[in-house]
Amino acid sequence: MPGFSKQLRLLNACDFQSVFAEPSSRASHPNLLVLARQNQLSHPRLGIVVAKKNVRFANQRNRIKRLIRESFRHQQDYLGGIDVIVLARKNLDQFDNAAIYKIVTKQWQRLQKHQDKNNPNQAPVSK
């Protein structure tokens, strides 16, 4: 699916709060935290939090959000029906684009592994 349409976003505070309140999965990195929770939809939705406290300059915050969205766009077919919030932590802006993309992709893989472990109804992936 090209782009990042509204149906793929967490749009209001209520959506964010439900994930923050009871995340069923989490993937952590010293510079990034990913929280996830099952939703009632057939597709994943993404929310991004890049605080000015953690990433000072707007152009850096925007660059990080673009990279997270791009990575999500590539991984969304494998995530299933979950709501995901990605929180940037201090010093994430010190990495170059390739490193940030690699960090985020690794967190998606960890999240998928956790989701597969907690979802016994899913068919096993062939090896």
Is the separation of the CB atoms in 47 and 9 below 8 Å?
yes
Span 71-92, pLDDT tens digits? 999 888 888 888 999 999 999 9
| Both tokens assigned to 66 | 């673009």
Which residue spans within 5-127 are E strands per DSSP?
Answer: 25-29, 32-38, 45-49, 82-88
pLDDT on residue 1: 46
Domain ranges of the chain: 6-107
**pLDDT at position 121 over 90:** no
Span 91-103, pLDDT tens digits? 999 999 999 999 9
pLDDT on residue 9: 86
Residue 3 binned pLDDT confidence (cut-offs 50, 70, 90): low
Residue 60 binned pLDDT confidence (cut-offs 50, 70, 90): very high
Span 12-49, pLDDT tens digits? 888 889 889 888 888 889 999 999 998 888 888 999 99
Phi, psi at 96, each rounded to 5°: -80, 175
Tell me the CATH class for 6-107.
alpha beta
Neighbours of 16 (CB within 10 A): 16
Q: What share of the chain is helix, strand, coil (3-state, %, to 5)?
A: 45, 20, 35
Give residues with Cβ within 8 angstroms of 108, minimum separation 6. Answer: 27, 34, 71, 72, 75, 78, 79
